[in-house]
Amino acid sequence: MDWFMRAKAEYGYDTISQYFDKSLSVLANARNLYAIDDTKSVKGWEMSIYRWKKGAHKKAQTKEPKIESKLDSVNASYHFDVVNDIYYTYLSIADQMVSVAGDKHRSMKEAYSNMVGKPASMNEICRDFGIPRAWFDEYRRRHGWTHDMSPYTDEEIATTDVEQLVQDLVLRNKHSLHKKYERRKWKNIEESAERYDMFNTYVLNEFKQLVGEAKSNVPKLNMIEDESEYSLVISPTDFHWGKYGWVDEVGETYHFDEARKRLMEKTEELICRLPSRPEQIILATGSDWFHVDTDAGTTTKGTPQDMCGSPAEILMTGCKLAREHIDLLRQVAPVKVVFMPGNHDRMSAIALMMYLSAVYEETEDCEVVVSPSTRQYVHYGNNLLGFIHGDGAKNLEELMSCEQRELWGKCEHHAWFHGHLHHRKVLESKGCLIIQLPSLAGHDRYHARQGYTTSKAGLAAHLIDKQKGLIATYFAPVEGQH
C-alpha cells in the first residue's frame, strides 16, 4: 500500500467519508467515530474531520514527508505533519528530531495551561506523559508554551471553528470544576473521618466508659420477696426543678438543695413502706420536672419565672438528678420511665427523655419509653394505665377507650394519672379512675400571691395489683412546710 492509501486508512479519512453525518456538529461526529474506532481519541477524530473537510484526504503526498534533521529559526522550530497528525520537534539536548503524536501533544499543552483548572507542574507532566524533564523543558520552549496560554494548539485554532472552541473550553472548565468539587468533597470526607477518629480515640471512648459505669447493675436493697404481683407507680409530677422561693416573701424556702432533699428523702420513705419487692416501678416524669423551658427563663409559652439558677444550669443539673433518682429506684425493681411533658417544660422534657434514653440504652433493668406524645399508655396484666400532665385534654375516659380500644376491652381496670394542679384527688368516672397527683415543689411569688398555698406538698406512690387493679396508695408529705 502506497503512502497515500496508508494515510487514508490510518488517519480515518475513509471512515469519515463513510460515516460523516452532515446534520451533526463536528464534535458530535467525532464522538460517533470514536464509538466506531477508539484507536483515535475524540479530539483526534475531530482534528481529522477538520483536515478531511479541508481536503487533506485529496492532498496527501504519495511519498512520506522528508523532515530536516535540524530546524534553524525559532519560527520553524517544529513541523506539524497534517496528514499523520504528528509533531516533529528538534531538541538540542537530545540532538535529534523527536516525534510526538498529535493527541499527546495537545494533552500536554492542555495540562500545562491554567485556563481549565490548576496547571500541572513540569514534574507532573513528565511523570504522566513519560518524558524526561529536560526534554519537556526545551519542548515547551520550542512551542512557546506558558501557563497563561489557551489549551489549544495553533493548528487547532487555525482549523477549528471559533464558536466550537469556545463551547469546548466551557465544557472543559465545567469538567475541571466538577473534578475540583470531587477532590474537595473527598478531602472533606477524609478530614471528617480523621477528626472523628481522633474524637473517638480521645473523647468518645472515655465517655462510653463513663456511661458504661452508669449502666452497670446497681445493688438491690434487701426487701421481702413474696409471690404477690404488683407494680409501683410513682411520679414526682410538678417538681419544678430550678424554682425559687424566698421564705420572707412566700413563707418557705425552695431552691436546688431543698428540691433535691425532698425528692430523695420522700422516695426513700415510700420505698421503706412497701410490703415486698414489686415486679416493676413505673416512673412517670417530665411533667413540669423543669421550672423553665427557654433561655430567657420562661415557660414553654413565654411566662417569666422565679429561678434559683440559669436556664442552662437548671437543664443540666436536672438531667443529672433524674438519673440519680432512677438509680435509686433501680435498687428496688426494674424501672419503666414514661414521659408526660408539662406546660412549663414541653421541650426540656423531651431533652430529658433523650438524655435518659441514651444513658440507659443498654441497661436491662431500666426501659425509657421514647415518644413525643403528651399521652402515654402502659398495659400491665389486667390494667390499662394512662399518663398525662393535665393541662390539656379533659375527656380522659373517652380518650382512653378510643385510643386504646382493644386494650380497654381486654382490661378490667382503667386508671389515669395526672398532675398540673399540685394537689391530691381521686375521681371514679365512666369505668375509669382519674388520679390527680400532688407536687413536691415549694411556693414562689406567683403561688403565694394567688393564695395557692393550702395544699400539702409531698410524693405519692400507688400499688397496682396485676389482676385486682389499684390496691393501695402511699403518701410521703413534706414536713415542716409553712
Span 5-21, average pLDDT: 68
Three-state DSSP class for 76? coil
Once rounded to an integer, what is the mean pLDDT over residues 23-32? 84
pLDDT band at 167 (very low <50, low <70, confident <90, very high): low
Residue-level pLDDT at 47: 78
Phi, psi of 474 (to 5 degrees): -110, 145
Answer with the residue of higher pLDDT: 387 or 131: 387
**Phi and psi dihedrals of 463, rounded to 5?**
-95, 120
Over residues 218-236, the mean pLDDT reads 85
**Residue 168 confidence (pLDDT):** 62
Q: How large is the average pLDDT for residues 164-178?
A: 59
Report strand pairing: 78-81 vs 86-91.
Answer: antiparallel
Work out the burial of residue 271: count CB atoms within 10 Å of its CB; fewer than 13 is exposed, 13-18 middle, 19 or more buried: buried
Calculate the dihedral angle through the C-alpha atoms of 131, 135, 137, 139, rounding to the nearest 10 degrees.
-100
Dist. CA 320–CA 306, nearest whole Å: 21
Average confidence (pLDDT) over 464-469: 96
**pLDDT tier, 60 (very low <50, low <70, confident <90, very high otherwise):** very low
Split at pLDDT 50, 70, 90, the class of 72 is: very low
| Strand order, beta sheet including 425-429 | 376-380, 383-388, 413-418, 432-436, 425-429
pLDDT value at residue 188: 64
Whether the pLDDT of residue 298 is over 50: the answer is yes
Q: Which residues are CB-neighbours of 170 under 8 A, at least 6 positions away? A: none
Task: Give the predicted TM-score (pTM) of the model.
Answer: 0.58
Span between the terminal Cα atoms of the chain, in Å: 119
Query: What's the whole-number mean pLDDT along residues 260-276?
Result: 95
Per-residue confidence (pLDDT) for residue 85, from 0 to 100: 82
CB of 340 within 8 A of CB of 287? Answer: yes
Q: For residues 279-302, give the mean pLDDT.
A: 95
- What is the pLDDT averaged over residues 167-187? 59
pLDDT digits (tens, 9 = 90+) for 2-12: 333 444 455 57
**With helix as H, strand as E and coil as C, how does 37-60 read?**
CCCCCHHHHHHHHHHHHCCHHHHC
What is the average per-residue pLDDT within 48-72? 56
Give me 357's grid cell. 434514653
Query: What's the pLDDT score for residue 183?
Result: 60
pLDDT score, position 26: 82
What is the pLDDT confidence band of residue 474, given thresholds at 50, 70 and 90? very high
Q: Is 61's pLDDT higher than 60?
A: no
pLDDT digits (tens, 9 = 90+) for 403-435: 999 999 999 999 999 999 999 999 999 999 999
Nine-digit cell string for 219: 445493688
From the list 29, 71, 73, 65, the residue with the least C-alpha distance to 47 is 29
Of the pLDDT bands very low, low, confident and very high (cuts 50, 70, 90), residue 159 is: low
| 315-345: b (≥16 Cβ within 10 Å) or e | beebbebbbebbbbbbbbbbbbbbbbbbbbb
Q: How far is the C-alpha of 26 from the C-alpha of 168, rounded, in Å?
A: 12
Q: Render the burial of 204-214: b for 16+ CB within 10 Å, e for the rest.
A: eeeeeeeeeee
CB 128 within 8 A of CB 120: yes
Backbone CA torsion sign across 243, 248, 252, 257: positive
CA distance 250 to 230: 40
Percent of the chain scoring above 90 in pLDDT: 50
Mean pLDDT of the chain: 83
Q: Is the pLDDT higher at 144 or at 282?
A: 282
pLDDT at 189: 59
3-state SS class at 211 = helix
Which has the higher per-residue pLDDT, 104 or 234?
Answer: 234
Q: Name the more confident of 225 and 67.
A: 225
Chain center to CA of 73: 65
Give the span between the Cα atoms of 195 and 204, in whole angstroms: 12
